């Protein structure tokens, strides 16, 4: 190792000559363009599933936005480039908006004109049921090329409820437009009263959940943060399993 002499007020000091460079952690998400869609919420009538706890009204649309907002931050921290679909009434318009935003990014993830394709699109939802104790996790996909993404997300999110409802093969709008690899996540049922209480706890609107919920296996936690962490794990697992290509269907 070479040594150089640096003078401090006339005092010669021998120090090792060492150049260091900041290293950005490499993750499976680094450089990926991920489009997110918060399901529902394009109008006052499009609330998705609803619930009410202690007089506090809860809509799936609001929950979806909360998760997408927090998820975008976490994915960005992992080196991904994130676009969020606009709140348009028609699902096709939301996909078109996301695709246009992806295409406007350059290779460094800033506004440019490289016409890049979204690597994946994830539409975030939370299910509804007439039974207030029903819960479960599922994902939805359309094409065979969507299935690995749906499975990676499903495998990760399942630990939220430990109540498997599997992967549903269906159109559902978001997963058929623009030929994007895409999936819909239904992490849990917001119509489940315990899930609704955990959501309100996450937002600071409740200080605890009912003991009956704890007795039935629900753990006091920030449910938004927990889901976001699992969404990131699922996406990381998906991209780790992929080889070659820049996303989109082949």
Model confidence over 24-59: pLDDT tens digits? 458 999 999 999 999 998 778 899 999 999 999 999
- How many domains is the chain partitioned into structurally? 1
Q: Is residue 10 part of a domain?
A: no
User: Does the residue 117 lie in any domain?
Assistant: yes
Q: Is residue 1 part of a domain?
A: no
pLDDT digits (tens, 9 = 90+) for 62-107: 999 999 999 999 999 999 999 999 998 888 889 999 999 999 986 5
For residue 82, the Cα-to-chain-centroid distance in whole angstroms is 10
CA 187 to chain centroid, in Å, comes to 11
Per-residue model confidence (pLDDT) at position 181: 93
Q: For residue 3, what pLDDT is reported?
A: 42
Give the SS3 label for residue 68: helix
Cα-trace Rg, the chain: 22
Q: Is residue 20 assigned to a domain? A: no
Question: Which residues span the domain enclosing 34?
Answer: 28-241
Stated pTM of the model: 0.85
Kindly report, residue by residue over 185-231, the tens digit of the pLDDT.
Answer: 999 999 999 999 999 999 999 999 999 999 999 999 999 999 999 99
C-alpha distance across the termini of the chain, in Å: 50
| Percent of the chain surpassing pLDDT 70 | 80
> Residue 105's domain is classified under what CATH number?
3.40.630.40
Q: Does residue 4 lie within any of the structural domains?
A: no
Region 17-30: mean pLDDT is: 61
Please report the pLDDT score of residue 183 as a whole number: 95
The answer to whether residue 158 is domain-embedded is yes
The answer to the question of residue 124 being in a domain is yes
Residue pair 140/172 in contact by the 8 Å Cβ criterion: yes
């Amino acid at each position: 190792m070479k040594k150089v002499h640096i003078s401090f007020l006339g005092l010669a000091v021998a120090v090792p000559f060492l150049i260091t460079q900041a290293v950005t952690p490499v993750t499976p998400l680094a450089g990926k363009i991920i489009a997110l869609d918060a399901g529902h919420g394009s109008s006052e009538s499009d609330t998705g599933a609803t619930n009410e706890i202690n007089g506090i009204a809860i809509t799936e649309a609001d929950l979806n936005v909360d998760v997408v907002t927090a998820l975008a931050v976490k994915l960005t921290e992992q080196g991904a480039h994130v676009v969020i679909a606009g709140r348009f009434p028609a699902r096709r318009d939301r996909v078109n908006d996301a695709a246009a935003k992806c295409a406007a990014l350059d290779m460094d993830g800033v506004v440019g004109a490289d016409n890049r394709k979204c690597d994946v699109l994830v539409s975030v939802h939370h299910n509804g049921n007439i039974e207030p104790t029903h819960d479960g996790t599922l994902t939805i996909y359309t094409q065979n090329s969507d299935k690995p993404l749906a499975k990676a997300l499903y495998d990760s999110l399942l630990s939220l409820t430990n109540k498997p409802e599997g992967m549903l093969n269906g159109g559902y709008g978001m997963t058929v437009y623009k030929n994007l690899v895409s999936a819909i996540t239904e992490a849990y049922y917001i119509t489940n009263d315990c899930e609704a209480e955990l959501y309100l706890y996450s937002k600071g609107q409740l200080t605890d959940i009912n003991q009956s919920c704890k007795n039935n296996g629900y753990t006091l936690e920030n449910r938004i943060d927990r889901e976001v962490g699992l969404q990131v794990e699922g996406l990381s697992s998906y991209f780790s399993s992929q080889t070659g290509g820049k996303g989109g269907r082949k």
